[in-house]
Structure 1
Amino acid sequence: MAADPVLWVYVTAADAAEARRLGRALVEERLAACANLLPGHTAIYRWEGELREETEAALVLKTTGSHFEALRARIRAMHSYSLPSILALPAAAGDAEFMDWVRAEVRPG
């Protein structure tokens, strides 16, 4: 049986405080093994027909494929945005011990 795939989940937040709040909760709840905060970047995007440019923060979360839907739902429930950016990217390869650690840190699927 194949191992549960490890995912990187990229999430933007309104600011560093929100990113920290999300990251801490998701790791405490064992939906993510780790959260890396990337504060202070600029987002340029179109929303509701208007071009916008705002400062945001981002999170890179490590989780597994079997936990993604629960993680996504929890982010949506906690997030200040009506439509948060939540993008899952597969970890095609990586250090086997690290990937096993990610799998062990999220709660059983």
Structure 2
Amino acid sequence: MSNVCIVFCTTDTRDNAETIADALIAARAAACVQIVPGITAVYRWQDQVVKDEEFQLVIKTTQQHVDAAKRVVDALHNYDVPQWVVVDAQHVSAAYGNWVNQELNVE
């Protein structure tokens, strides 16, 4: 098993997505953040069905950096309840795993 994690988080504006991505990289809390535009979210909020356009952040980090990444997101996110879903990568190529760990200074 790898120490690499993928975190899924959404936000409502490209500016917020880029602010979060830039801060995660600057803090070395993530090795890479992909911003995927054009996500449509349908959910219930305060007893109303809501349909919003969102930007998906796909955050590549490690188990050791998940808490630091969450602190960055919590400080910059504009939602009351941001999506935060961590998926542990079961299999990662050696080259990619080494790169992620190198970017995050994991020994």
Q: TM-score by structure 1 length?
A: 0.91
Q: CA RMSD in A?
A: 1.6
Percent identity reads 32
SS in 1 for 2:102: helix
Mark the runs of 5 or more structure 1 residues left unpaired by the alignment: none
Displacement of 1:48 in angstroms is: 1.6
Q: 2:29 aligns with which of 31, 36, 50?
A: 31
2:63 maps to: 65
Aligned length: 107
Letter in 2 for 1:49: D
Contact persistence 2:19–2:76 (CA under 8 A): no
Q: TM-score by structure 2 length?
A: 0.92
Displacement of 1:20 in angstroms is: 1.2
1:18 maps to: 16
SS in 1 for 2:37: strand
Q: 1:103 aligns with which of 88, 101, 104?
A: 101
2:7 maps to: 9
State the 4+ residue runs in structure 1 displaced beyond 4 angstroms: none
Mark the runs of 5 or more structure 2 residues left unpaired by the alignment: none
